[in-house]
Amino acid sequence: MRPCATTLAAEMTPAEHQLLLQTLQQAPTEGLRLEIGTAAGGTLCAMLGSLPADQRRFVVVDPMKYFPGQLDAVRKNLRDHQLDPATVDFRVSKSDIAFEDAAGRDESYSFMLIDGCHKIRSVTIDLKWTRLLSVGGVICFHDVVPELRGVWLAVQRFVSRHPNYEVIAQADSLLAVRKTAPSTTPEIDASDEWYARMWYLPLQVERKWKKLHKAA
């Protein structure tokens, strides 16, 4: 079990935390705000607390299987920070299922924090949500470092393939990106899914090898 399960703290460095809140506060106010992967809700508390009371609404997508009692822990964390859990639309679901539901309702988002599972196929699925990002909206990707190759490869491929997504800042492993124009092609297509499948097994083997080597 990760430390955040008991501390309920955010899992970001001070520099990442500062950039995240700055990016959130500079994002358009129209549209929904999204967090994919909330852990114990520490970062969610910080984001909500940084917003005016009348703007404290978020959609959170998470299967809530990160640690036992995760959803209850997140709600407790919100209450401990004098934040109302009712302002959060918890969608206890896998990202792909929640995305199809959101797309079917034509939802539009002005801010996204993608910080879910680090496996390349999961990150690629999370990237589908960018289709719902409004022009001028911003995304923050957490853990974008070469050491976390699933996240690194998926996000770097996404940014390089879509010139209408502009990198605006980076602090440690947090990358902030703005959507500058409508997309003329799907953000995630069959070639992206094939790329993720191609890399999935080699990255899993690499991860297990590193874990065994570290344990030795």
* pLDDT (0 to 100) of residue 8: 54
Distance spanning both ends of the chain, measured CA to CA: 21
Class level of CATH domain 4-215: alpha beta
pLDDT at 2 over 60: no
Q: Going by C-beta distance under 8 Å and a sequence separation of 6 or more, which residues neighbour residue 204?
A: 119
Mean pLDDT of 109-118: 97
Q: Which two tokens stand for residue 47?
A: 């984001």
Mean pLDDT in the chain?
93
Closest Cα partner for 118 from 23, 215, 206? 206
* pLDDT (0 to 100) of residue 210: 75
Alpha helix (H) residue ranges in 81-189: 95-104, 120-127, 149-161
Q: Which two tokens stand for residue 25?
A: 């506060």
Q: Which two tokens stand for residue 181?
A: 């124009």
Residue entry with tokens 């959507």: 179
61-112 pLDDT tens trace: 999 999 999 999 999 999 999 999 999 999 999 999 999 999 999 999 999 9
Share of the chain above pLDDT 70, in %: 94
**Residue 105 phi/psi, 5° resolution?**
-95, 5
Give the domain ranges of the chain: 4-215
Mean pLDDT of 196-209: 90
Distances in Å between the Cα of 4 and the Cα atoms of 9, 65, 68, 118, 172 are 5, 14, 12, 17, 20
Give per-residue burial for 64-99: e unless 16+ CB within 10 Å, then b: bebeeebbebbbebbeeeebeeeebebbeebbbebb
pLDDT at 128 over 60: yes
Q: Count H helices and E strands in the chain, helices first.
A: 8, 7
pTM as predicted = 0.92
DSSP state of 163: T
* pLDDT (0 to 100) of residue 4: 53
165-180 pLDDT tens trace: 999 999 999 999 999 9
Q: Are the C-beta atoms of residues 141 and 177 closer than 8 Å to each other?
A: yes
Distances in Å between the Cα of 201 and the Cα atoms of 121, 155, 198, 208 are 10, 18, 7, 11
* pLDDT (0 to 100) of residue 10: 65
pLDDT at 3 over 60: no
Q: Are the C-beta atoms of residues 32 and 107 closer than 8 Å to each other?
A: yes
* pLDDT (0 to 100) of residue 208: 82
pLDDT band at 207 (very low <50, low <70, confident <90, very high): confident
22-71 pLDDT tens trace: 999 999 999 999 999 999 999 999 999 999 999 999 999 999 999 999 99
Residue entry with tokens 């607390």: 49
